[in-house]
């Protein structure tokens, strides 16, 4: 097989890159080790920055998004039993959008298959070769047949546990990591959302978050231990903890109960590798960086990476040289580290750490009070939450 760009991974990053290249007349093949059903049904983050929505709109894959998504113009911080709204749109002129990552994936798969562009699911034994040459290749097995894909460039969009980053020789990448001493116990419930906007709560028992997937589906989280045993969490215990942590001092709990459809524990880490490139292999999204979910930056960072990479590849194939390819890692990492800083800040502000004493707790409450009652503090949160500007084209 022969193509111009080989893409490993059919998540939002790999699929969007394939689509943007298709629009530019550049050939690509997307390889995915999971089934189409698995990729389309795995539940992931669902908050899109305005810049992400604009990228998807310009790419022509946001028709259903604009029809079905829930647009938010603010968020609520709840601490010390009181609520404080941050008017995101009033402060920045921008909004955020609730639209599940799996829905973005469905839209991108549909448009790629509709265009007849190559997308292979359930690919096995993937390996990368000759990355330091101008003729790299990908070997794999599909439907029992061993194949090799020859290409000019490989895009590693296969996530944190994928093979692309591990294909880079030891000592080339610098890895930066922080593992947090807590996790999120998350549920998806067939119940109306607790509020029409997200509620982030700091409570003496730990963090809680009330968000949603639709007007009839709620997504709720509580801080827990990384080694939490889900068998010890009955439905009644989960709901009791959510009511306690999200309660308003005067109005009680806004949480609405319903059948729990899914539950799981999400560990928390910050991770970045530099550079995001080795030879003709370019890493994007979770293959290169992970953020704790508190700031809702994971998929948004992946989309931002892909926009930069697609611009660089288009310039390369239009005969404008390799300058943008050479600059890809630096351009992407400038935004990645700002998102890491914000995600770390939000996580530190809202969670209880092992060993925190009353002094630390009071400091966090004072900082939250400053954020909510200072124009500068509220603007800092708002402009980071709705998304910092994308790298110029």
199 touches 254 (CB < 8 A): yes
- Residue 393 burial (CB < 10 Å; 0-12/13-18/19+)? exposed
Of 156, 157, 173, 216, which Cα lies nearest the Cα of 191? 216
- CATH number of the domain located at residue range(s) 5-72+96-177+269-349 in this protein: 3.50.50.60
Which of the 8 DSSP states describes residue 2? B
Residue ranges, CATH 3.50.50.60, the chain: 5-72+96-177+269-349
Walk along the chain (393 residues) in steps of 10 and give the mean pLDDT of each run: 97 97 98 96 86 97 96 97 96 96 96 97 98 97 97 97 97 96 96 96 95 93 96 97 96 96 94 98 98 95 98 97 96 97 97 87 94 97 96 77
**Which regions of the chain carry the CATH code 3.30.9.10?**
180-267+354-385
Smallest CA-to-CA distance from 187 within 156, 155, 209, 164 is with: 209
Is 5 in contact with 154 (CB distance < 8 Å)? Answer: yes
**pTM of the predicted model as reported, rounded to 2 decimal places:** 0.95
Q: What is the pLDDT of residue 40?
A: 92
The pLDDT assigned to 147 comes to: 97
Contact call for residues 12 and 155 (beta carbons, < 8 A):
no
Per-residue pLDDT, 284 = 98
| 171, burial (CB in 10 Å: exposed 0-12, middle 13-18, buried 19+) | exposed
**pLDDT, position 355:** 79
- The pLDDT assigned to 356 comes to 80
208 forms beta bridges with 201, 222
- pLDDT at site 42: 81
Q: How far, in Å, are 41, 265, 288, 328 from residue 166 at the CA level?
A: 26, 26, 11, 20
The answer to whether the CB of 353 falls within 8 A of the CB of 359 is: no
Structure tokens at 371: 């954020």
Q: What is the CATH number of domain 180-267+354-385?
A: 3.30.9.10
What span, in angstroms and rounded, lies between the C-alpha atoms of 209 and 203?
11
Which segments within 130-259 are labelled E, that is strand? 137-142, 145-150, 153-156, 174-189, 199-202, 208-214, 217-224
**Catalytically active residues, by annotation:** 72, 200, 293, 297, 385
């Amino acid at each position: 097989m022969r193509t111009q760009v080989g893409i490993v991974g059919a998540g939002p990053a790999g699929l969007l890159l394939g689509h943007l290249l298709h629009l530019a007349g550049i050939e690509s093949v997307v390889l995915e080790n999971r089934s189409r059903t698995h990729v389309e049904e795995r539940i992931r983050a669902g908050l899109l920055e305005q810049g992400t929505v604009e990228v998807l709109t310009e790419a022509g894959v946001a028709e259903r998004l604009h029809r079905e998504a829930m647009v938010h113009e603010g968020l609520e911080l709840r601490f010390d039993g009181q609520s404080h709204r941050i008017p995101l749109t009033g402060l920045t002129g921008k909004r955020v959008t609730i639209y599940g990552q799996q829905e973005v994936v469905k839209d991108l798969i549909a448009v790629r298959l509709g265009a007849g562009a190559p997308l292979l699911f359930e690919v096995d034994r993937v390996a990368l070769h000759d990355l330091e040459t101008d003729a790299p290749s990908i070997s794999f097995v599909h439907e029992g047949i061993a194949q090799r894909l020859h290409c000019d460039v490989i895009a590693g969009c296969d996530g944190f546990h994928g093979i692309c980053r591990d294909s880079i020789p030891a000592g080339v990448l610098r890895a930066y990591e922080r593992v947090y001493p807590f996790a999120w116990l998350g549920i998806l419930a067939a119940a109306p959302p607790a509020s029409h906007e997200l509620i982030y709560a700091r409570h003496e028992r730990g963090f809680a978050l009330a968000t949603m997937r639709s007007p009839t589906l709620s997504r709720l989280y509580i801080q827990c231990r990384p080694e939490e045993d889900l068998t010890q969490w009955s439905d009644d215990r989960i709901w009791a903890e959510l009511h306690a942590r999200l309660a308003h001092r005067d109005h009680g709990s806004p949480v609405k109960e319903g059948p729990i459809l899914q539950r799981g524990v999400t560990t928390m880490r910050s991770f970045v590798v530099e550079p995001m490139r080795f030879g003709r292999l370019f890493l994007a999204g979770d293959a290169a960086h992970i953020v704790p979910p508190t700031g809702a930056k994971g998929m948004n960072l992946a989309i931002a990476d892909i926009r930069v990479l697609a611009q660089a590849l288009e310039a390369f194939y239009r005969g404008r040289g390799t300058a943008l390819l050479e600059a890809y890692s630096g351009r992407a990492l400038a935004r990645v580290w700002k998102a890491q800083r914000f995600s770390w800040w939000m996580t530190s502000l809202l969670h209880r750490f092992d060993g925190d004493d009353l002094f630390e707790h009071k400091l966090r409450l004072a900082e939250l009070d400053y954020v909510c009652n200072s124009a500068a503090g509220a603007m800092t949160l708002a402009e980071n939450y709705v998304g910092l500007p994308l790298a110029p084209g």
